Structure formats: structure tokens, C-alpha cells
Amino acid sequence: DTAVSQTPKYLVTQMGNDKSIKCEQNLGHDTMYWYKQDSKKFLKIMFSYNNKELIINETVPNRFSPKSPDKAHLNLHINSLELGDSAVYFCASSQALAGGTSSYNEQFFGPGTRLTVL
């Protein structure tokens, strides 16, 4: 039973294309995240949604647009792909609450999507 799943696992595409990565969680969590792991292996948060509402939006080019059709899904759309977008993208979920007990911050990660832009 996969808790957090992402599709596709690998994505190879040309510069300038538009692509999407899908994420689904079956944990009943209210909060979902997108992280980018760059070539230096740093995991950096990009976005977070709580109950379909955007709550964290880091400094990310506006070519990246998250979409949450329901609280179990958070998809990532990337327009006009650039070489520097090549990375592994991880989706995660948690019961994180603002001002809530920090233990809710434990996040469950998907397997990652390796995006290669040629």
C-alpha cells in the first residue's frame, strides 16, 4: 500500500516543453508539499498546500505552478522547461498545522521523479 505516490518516476524532455508531475497520498493528511533536490543533493521546499489552499510558496519561478484538485492530490506543472530544472522532485504529505504540535510536521515522502531536460 503506497502512502505517497508520484508519476512518472522518470521524465526526459526537451527544453521549452511543458510537463506535469502527479502526486497522490492515501494517508488522509491535510498538507502536501513539493521539494526539489538539486545536483548538490539539497532538498529544498518549493510549495505547500493545506486543504487545497496554497500556504508555502518559496522563491520559485512562476513557470512552476502547483495544482491541488483535492486534499489527496498535489500536481506540479512546469512550463517552458529549462536545463536548470533538471533535478529530482519529491512530493510529501503531513498533518502539519500552523501553531499545532510540531510532531505533526513529520512528513512522508514519495519516491521522487527524476526530471531530465535536454
Q: Which residues bind other proteins (CB under 8 A)?
A: 4, 31, 33, 40-45, 48, 50, 55-56, 90, 92, 94, 96-99, 102-112
Output 5 or 79, the one with its CB closest to other proteins: 5
Q: What is the nearest approach in angstroms of other proteins to the Cβ of residue 99?
A: 5
Report which of 85, 96, 109, 21 is spatially closest to residue 56, judged by C-alpha positions: 96
Output 14 or 41, the one with its CB closest to other proteins: 41
The SS3 call for residue 57 is strand
Strands 4-7 and 19-25: antiparallel
Q: What is the nearest approach in angstroms of other proteins to the Cβ of residue 36?
A: 11
- Contact assessment for residue 106 and residue 77, using Cβ atoms and an 8 Å cutoff: no
Q: What is the nearest approach in angstroms of other proteins to the Cβ of residue 39?
A: 11
